[in-house]
């Protein structure tokens, strides 16, 4: 597992490499432009590649900006979302990103099936306009009509987008718990992954977000907490971080990009792996 954090790219994409290395990351996640603006930022991709290649980092993931709503009914918002997502994928191509993570959008109280169809059209167009970079649809907590609160919804989004092999999945520990998926025990997480495999296929799993949850199981609210200070807790996070089927995936901490939190995530992974080695194999293995 490539544990890392979302880091700032202020001053240039290559600055994100420096920040990731400083706090002990194996992988980093970045925005390719300001998350508060539609206008793409004119970064130099070559500087990033040079800095990344010279660093111990093993993976970079781009997070599409939160302004994007592929499910919108507003024509202007649709075009802005398409342009922003396409640009993120092009930057991903240029810097060799493991993927672009996307919140697919929100039905905003409207018909979910129709919203999934609209989002699928936008996602399909963005993929058609780009070449290589995978797109990882992130599961959501389910608040405010956000799409992707269940594996069935994520599967429907992939189907509506054309089913490309470039379409992947980003699982967020906080969002899973808030959506009613029990990830705090080996048995619970095993059942969750079996359900994911039936709906989508685990071959689509491309990246992870590791965040504790400030709100209870099944609350359908998106409130991240620092590692060990929420409803998942250190024991539950150790289970999540040591899951064998997550091996080699970039696993991104989003709450607080500090050396202490990255170090804690690595310690919890080691603790979880030690516990698994002492325990009998789970029934799903």
Nearest to 210 by CA among 261, 149, 266, 254: 254
pLDDT at 3 exceeding the cut of 80: yes
Q: Are 222 and 174 in contact (CB under 8 A)?
A: yes
pLDDT above 80: residue 144: no
b (16+ CB within 10 A) / e for 42-56: ebebeebbebbeeee
Is the pTM for the entire model greater than 0.85? yes
Per-residue pLDDT at 56 exceeds 80: yes
Evaluate if residue 8 carries a pLDDT over 50: yes
- The predicted structure's pLDDT at residue 143: 80
Backbone angles phi, psi at 3, to 5 degrees: -80, 135
Residue 197: exposure state from Cβ atoms within 10 A (0-12, 13-18, ≥19) = middle
Q: How confident is the model at residue 151 (pLDDT cuts 50, 70, 90)?
A: very high
pLDDT at position 42? 65
Give the Cβ contact number of residue 268 at 10 Å: 24
In this predicted structure, what is the pLDDT of residue 237? 98
285: pLDDT strictly greater than 60: no
What would the CATH number be for the domain defined by 2-278? Answer: 3.20.20.150
- Residues in contact with 281: Cβ distance below 8 Å, sequence separation at least 6, in sequence order: none
Q: How far apart are the first and last CA of the chain?
A: 19
Which of 136, 143, 200 minimizes the C-alpha distance to 171?
136
| Distance separating alpha carbons of residues 155 and 84, to the nearest angstrom | 23
Count the neighbouring beta carbons within 10 Å of the beta carbon of residue 85: 25
Return the percentage of the chain with pLDDT > 90, whole number. Answer: 84
Coil, strand or helix: which one is 246? helix
Separation between Cα atoms, residue 5 and residue 143, nearest integer Å: 24
Burial of 273 (0-12, 13-18, 19+ CB in 10 A): middle
What pairs with residue 52 in β-bridges? Answer: none
Query: What's the confidence (pLDDT) of residue 45?
Result: 82
- Please tell me whether residue 138 adopts helix, strand or coil conformation: strand
> 44-48, 69-73, 181-185, 224-228 — which is least confidently predicted?
44-48
The pLDDT value recorded for residue 100 is 98
């Amino acid at each position: 597992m490539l544990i890392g954090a979302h880091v700032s790219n202020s001053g240039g994409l290559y600055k994100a490499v420096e920040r990731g290395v400083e706090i002990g990351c194996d992988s980093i996640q970045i925005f390719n432009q300001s998350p508060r603006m539609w206008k793409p930022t004119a970064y130099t991709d070559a500087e990033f590649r040079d800095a990344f290649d010279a660093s111990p980092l093993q993976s970079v993931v781009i997070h599409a900006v939160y302004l994007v709503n592929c499910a919108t009914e507003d024509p202007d918002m649709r075009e802005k979302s398409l342009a922003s997502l396409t640009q993120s994928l092009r930057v991903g191509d240029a810097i060799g990103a493991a993927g672009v993570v996307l919140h697919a959008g929100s039905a905003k109280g409207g018909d979910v099936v129709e919203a999934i169809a609209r989002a699928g059209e936008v996602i399909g167009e963005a993929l058609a306009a780009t070449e290589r970079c995978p797109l990882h649809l992130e599961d959501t907590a389910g608040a405010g009509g956000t799409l992707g609160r269940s594996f069935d919804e994520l599967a429907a989004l992939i189907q509506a987008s054309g089913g490309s092999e470039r379409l992947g999945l980003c699982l967020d520990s906080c969002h899973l718990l808030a959506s009613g998926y029990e990830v705090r025990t080996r048995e619970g997480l095993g059942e969750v992954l079996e359900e994911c495999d039936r709906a989508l296929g685990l071959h689509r799993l491309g990246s992870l977000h590791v965040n504790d949850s400030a709100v209870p199981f099944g609350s359908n609210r998106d409130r991240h907490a620092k590692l060990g200070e929420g409803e998942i807790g250190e024991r539950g996070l150790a289970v999540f971080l040591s899951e064998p089927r997550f091996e080699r995936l970039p696993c991104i901490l989003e709450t607080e990009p500090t050396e202490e939190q990255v170090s804690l995530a690595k310690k919890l992974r080691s603790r979880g792996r030690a516990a698994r080695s002492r325990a009998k194999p789970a029934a799903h293995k």
